[in-house]
């Protein structure tokens, strides 16, 4: 019997995964092993072999992009006249489809509205106002994240059980109760409700559950390692009758626990579904063998994994290089220099720099702007365009130039000073009419008693502070110190520190990095000029660009050349991840390192610095523990400097620098030695 055309380009294990149709199947698909090809070929095989009609196949992805790509690929395999896949989509889109038919079972009408995040925030704000909760201190987005966390665990308000010490969550739970009732009253659902309500229907109405579980003869799930509890429950109900559930993923690339993903869904799949067949796709079509060897040896240090060993038929390739630098500036200079060499034979689009924290991009952006290397930030915003950085710059520009109306308008109510849009509009119109700057106009309107008493207090305090800060400059206060004073006295620091917000940690790190950047300039004027030039440079080249992104944003991507800077204890693995999650946090950080390395097709370069600006000071750092876990036989160590002119620097050497500030990673390492 001749093999079907969709099987011809598959290796032995891929074919096995396509042809094994009966019972639960877990496909452990290593990085670059062709999992999408296997999934689409499997769907084509089910239809071609008349095992099921296209309407009897449920295929679930995490993104609309992935669903669309899968739809196109299947259509291409099946050829002309192929039927579409009506039940191919994301968890949310398929749940919405089911919920429309059975909305009454959860108190909704079939024409219910799915509200977006802006609507959610607005609703939470209104609830907080009614409950006398200050949204200046607790971000509505943070409250929504807690509610979403509960929903991901399958909890309605009545299901949430709080511990005694969770006093803040008690307020959130009350908000959740009101929020959920408001949604019902408005005939609305948020995105998490789509799955939560569907599971509730399946649980309470077995007749409805049976309709769908009988209907779907075959169920396929992509990126199964990223599923959360409620998604796992949803699948259990739908797979209940036929049990032909095929889940594809890579436990070594499970890096989204902060979004609710539960790796145990993957690790315990064979316990959840009896008689599970496990097939490992270990042949990699992306990277050289050296890259795979390093990635495999590193991830083997994790205890909680299914286990696999990647291999390739490609060349052995270059060893992964490991560079040690005196500081982050030297690191950025060296990387930019090697990029200049690589771009002679490689497109800049095929070069990526992957960082653990977004603030790390600043040093590279500065260097690239200086030497003229075009770049793009993937999944983020360029450093000087980030909101908190623009706020800081606006304050400094106002101090430096009282006529800067744009900057004044930006900071006038940041942080909140009870200055509304109407007041700002009145100040602006009066300024234009009188040919004043907005700052002068604001003073005049206060003198004329044209500002409301409550608003007057906030506006007056800002004007007084601006004059005070200008006097600070006259007193020769360092511009770096000046910004710290501004952040403290304006209330901006307090706003970020006290406000419960998911993004605040990143914002604080970015501001600390800004303070670091300012130290490189002699005065405030030269720094502001630098920022103006950096933000005005035409970076919208049609040509190629180097890709800068976080390790999290890099998942699913691939590049010829990958740089992995900042492999230092405290930064990577991240201090917070270890403190909050212990060993599980460390293992997820290691999986993140694995993801980073396996993005590289030909060349991977890891580096760390001996000194890094941290918490407002330069600190000694040590190499990440992950550096010690890299196999020497596949690594080339390039010491970029020498401590003495004769002796090479040794990794993790214990040097006694007196009166130096130590990073958390350094301190933890010293404790370990004792």
- The kind and range of the H/E element at 636 are strand 635-639
Q: Taking each helix axis from N to C terminus, what angle separates 206-215 and 229-238, rounded to the nearest 10 degrees?
A: 80
Burial 169-200 (b: 16+ CB within 10 A, else e): eeebbebbebbbeebeeeebbbbbbbbbbbbb
Cα 448 off chain centre by: 50
Phi, psi angle pair for 330, to nearest 5°: -60, -35
Of the CA atoms within 13 Å of residue 322, those in its CB half-sphere come to: 21
Of the CA atoms within 13 Å of residue 192, those in its CB half-sphere come to: 23
Tokens (6 digits) for 56? 């009897």
Cα(19)–Cα(139) distance, integer angstroms? 51
Burial 30-54 (b: 16+ CB within 10 A, else e): bbbbbbbbbbbbbbbbbbbeeebeb
- Cβ–Cβ under 8 Å, residues 327 and 610: yes
Collapsing DSSP to helix, strand or coil, 352 comes out as strand
Q: What does 321-338 look like in DSSP terms, one character per residue?
A: EEEEESSHHHHHHHHHHH
E strand spans, 361-467: 375-377
- Cβ–Cβ under 8 Å, residues 531 and 384: yes
Tokens (6 digits) for 600? 């590289």
Tokens (6 digits) for 329? 């500036």
Cα(43)–Cα(220) distance, integer angstroms? 8
**For tokens 């940041």, what's the residue?**
414
Cα(180)–Cα(115) distance, integer angstroms? 12
Instruction: Output DSSP code: residue 181.
Output: H
Q: Contacts by 114-123 with C-beta closer than 8 Å and gap 24+?
A: 114/188, 114/189, 114/190, 114/191, 114/194, 115/183, 115/188, 115/189, 115/190, 117/141, 117/144, 119/188, 120/144, 120/190, 123/179, 123/182, 123/183
* Residues labelled catalytic: 35-36, 222-223, 253, 599
Cα(175)–Cα(132) distance, integer angstroms? 11
Residues 6+ apart with CB under 8 A from 91: 60, 62, 194, 195, 231, 234
Q: Contacts by 265-272 with C-beta closer than 8 Å and gap 24+?
A: 265/224, 265/225, 265/227, 265/228, 265/229, 265/231, 265/232, 266/26, 266/224, 266/225, 266/227, 266/306, 267/304, 267/305, 267/306, 269/24, 269/26, 269/224, 270/24, 270/26, 272/232, 272/236
Q: What does 556-611 look like in DSSP terms, one character per residue?
A: T--EEEEEE---BTBBTTBHHHHHHHHHHHHHHHHHHHHHHHTTEEEEEEEEEESE
Cα(487)–Cα(568) distance, integer angstroms? 29
């Amino acid at each position: 019997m001749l093999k079907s055309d969709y099987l011809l380009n598959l290796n032995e294990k891929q074919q096995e995964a396509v042809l094994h149709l009966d019972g639960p199947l877990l496909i452990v698909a290593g990085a670059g092993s062709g999992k999408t090809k296997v999934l689409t070929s499997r769907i084509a095989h089910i239809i071609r072999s008349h095992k099921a009609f296209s309407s009897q196949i449920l295929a679930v992805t995490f993104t609309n992009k992935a669903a669309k790509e899968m739809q196109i690929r299947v259509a291409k395999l099946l050829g002309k006249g192929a039927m579409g896949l009506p039940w191919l989509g994301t968890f949310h889109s398929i749940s919405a489809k089911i919920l429309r038919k059975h909305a009454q079972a959860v108190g909704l009408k079939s024409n219910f509205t799915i509200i977006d995040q802006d609507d959610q925030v607005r609703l939470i704000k209104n609830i907080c106002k009614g409950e006398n909760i200050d949204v200046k201190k607790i971000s509505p987005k943070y409250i929504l994240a807690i509610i979403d966390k509960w929903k991901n665990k399958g909890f309605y308000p009545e299901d949430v059980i709080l511990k005694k010490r969770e006093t803040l969550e008690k307020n959130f739970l009350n908000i959740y109760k009101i929020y959920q009732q408001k949604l019902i009253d408005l005939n609305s659902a948020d995105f998490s409700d789509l799955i939560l309500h569907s599971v509730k229907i399946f649980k309470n109405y077995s007749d409805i559950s049976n309709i769908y579980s009988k209907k779907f003869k075959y169920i396929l799930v992509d990126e199964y390692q990223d599923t959360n509890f409620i998604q796992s429950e949803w699948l259990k109900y739908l797979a209940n009758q036929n049990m032909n559930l095929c889940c594809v993923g890579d436990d070594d690339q499970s890096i989204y626990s902060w979004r609710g993903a539960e790796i145990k869904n993957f690790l315990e799949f064979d316990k959840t579904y009896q008689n599970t067949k496990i097939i490992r796709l270990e042949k990699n079509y992306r990277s050289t063998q050296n890259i795979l060897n390093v990635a495999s040896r590193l991830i083997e240090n994790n205890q909680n994994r299914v286990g696999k060993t990647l291999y390739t038929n490609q060349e052995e390739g270059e060893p992964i290089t490991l560079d040690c630098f005196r500081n982050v500036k030297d690191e950025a200079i060296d990387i930019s220099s090697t990029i200049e060499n690589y771009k002679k034979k490689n497109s800049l689009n095929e070069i990526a720099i992957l960082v653990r924290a977004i603030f790390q991009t600043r040093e590279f952006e500065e260097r690239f702007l200086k030497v003229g290397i075009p770049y793009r930030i993937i999944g983020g915003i360029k450093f000087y365009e980030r909101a908190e950085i623009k706020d800081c710059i606006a304050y400094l520009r106002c101090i430096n130039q009282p006529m800067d109306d744009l900057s004044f308008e930006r900071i006038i109510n940041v942080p909140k000073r009870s200055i509304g849009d109407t007041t700002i509009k009145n100040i602006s119109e009066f300024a234009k009419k009188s040919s004043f700057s907005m700052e002068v106009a604001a003073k005049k309107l206060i003198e004329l008693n044209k500002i409301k008493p409550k608003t007057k207090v906030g506006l007056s305090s800002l004007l007084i502070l601006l004059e005070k800060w200008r006097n600070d400059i006259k007193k020769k206060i360092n511009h770096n110190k000046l910004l710290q004073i501004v952040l403290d006295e304006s209330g901006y620091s307090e706003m970020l520190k006290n406000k419960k917000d998911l993004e605040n940690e990143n914002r604080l790190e970015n501001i600390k990095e800004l303070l670091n950047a300012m130290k490189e300039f002699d005065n405030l004027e030269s720094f502001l000029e630098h920022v103006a030039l950096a933000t005005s440079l035409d970076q919208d080249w049609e040509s190629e660009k180097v890709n800068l992104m976080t390790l999290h944003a890099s998942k699913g991507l691939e590049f010829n050349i990958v740089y992995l800077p900042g492999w230092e204890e405290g930064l990577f693995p991240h201090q917070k991840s270890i403190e909050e999650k212990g060993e599980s946090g460390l293992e997820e950080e290691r999986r993140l390192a694995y993801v980073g390395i396996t993005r590289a097709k030909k060349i991977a370069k890891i580096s760390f610095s001996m000194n890094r600006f941290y918490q407002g000071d330069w600190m000694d750092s040590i190499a990440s523990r992950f550096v010690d876990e890299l196999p020497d036989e596949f690594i080339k160590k390039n010491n970029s400097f020498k401590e003495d002119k004769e002796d090479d620097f040794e990794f993790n050497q214990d040097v006694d620098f007196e009166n130096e500030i130590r990073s958390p990673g350094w301190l933890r390492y010293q404790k370990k030695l004792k």
